[in-house]
Amino acid sequence: MKLAVFIFFISTQVFASFEGTLQFDLPINYKRFFCDKTAIPGDYLVKVKHASRSLKLKFKDVEGTRHSIKIKLPRHALPDHGGSITLTPGQTGQEFGIRANLSSKQIRREERTIRESCSIRVRVRRCQTDENGRRRCRDTYENRPGRQYVRYLVTTFQKDLDINLIDQEYEVFGKTETRDITSRSDVLYRSNCQRAP
């Protein structure tokens, strides 16, 4: 058996995307590209983009207005494996603060086997008759379609990101509950490529 040192990531760890719900009771006044914007209270579906220095809340309100609210973070304030942070209004680059918690856990591991297409190089003898009637042959190598078995381990991870929005008096006026699920595949074994029938 041979082991392959091959790891495939479905998503990166530097930039994660969470989806879930956003609920807030007071209007959110925020800045975007030097403009003052307001999001009206309600319950919404939200996407949260988590980068090393920011969180970005993206949602559409009941009036159909799309909002993209950027919240500044200290670099790596919420590490990939999880953690908590509290930022006051102003530290976020907005008029509100946040209390955020990121938790991460492995939820399952599965071993799978599949058949993959591959290419096998075969020797082919090519013959032709020359102008004198003599048969001349030569060997060449050509690629032919093949199949191989691959056994790999799929590990699935779940991350939950919860954010409380806090006003100037440090009272909570809104919250998000979001989740991101990613998978990683590690190849355990790859058979030799066999010529397809």
Among 155, 156, 148, 153, residue whose Cα is nearest residue 187: 153
For 110-160, write each residue's pLDDT tens digit: 999 999 999 999 889 889 888 888 888 988 999 999 999 999 999 999 999
Angle at 14 between CA 47 and CA 79, to 5 degrees: 90
pLDDT band at residue 190 using 50, 70 and 90 as cut-offs: very high
Q: What was the pLDDT predicted at 118?
A: 93
What is the pLDDT, as a whole number, of residue 11? 36
What pLDDT score was predicted for residue 183?
A: 93
Please determine, for residue 13, whether its predicted confidence score (pLDDT) is greater than 80.
no
* Contact in structure between 22 and 46 (CB atoms under 8 Å): yes
| Sequence spans of domains, the chain | 7-195
195 pLDDT band, cuts 50/70/90, is: confident
Q: What is the pLDDT of residue 99?
A: 95
Alpha carbon separation from 140 to 121, 124, 143 (Å, rounded): 10, 5, 10
**Per-residue pLDDT tens over the stretch 43-82:** 999 999 998 889 999 999 988 999 999 999 998 888 878 8
pLDDT at position 3, please? 36
pLDDT at site 129: 85
Q: Tell me how far apart the alpha carbons of residues 62 and 46 are, in angstroms, rounded to a whole number.
A: 13
Query: How confident is the model over 28-41, as pLDDT tens digits?
Result: 999 988 899 999 99
* pLDDT given at position 67: 95
Q: Which 3 state secondary structure label does DSSP give 33? A: coil
Tell me the C-alpha distance between 128 and 149, whole Å. Answer: 38
Is the pTM higher than 0.75? The answer reads: no
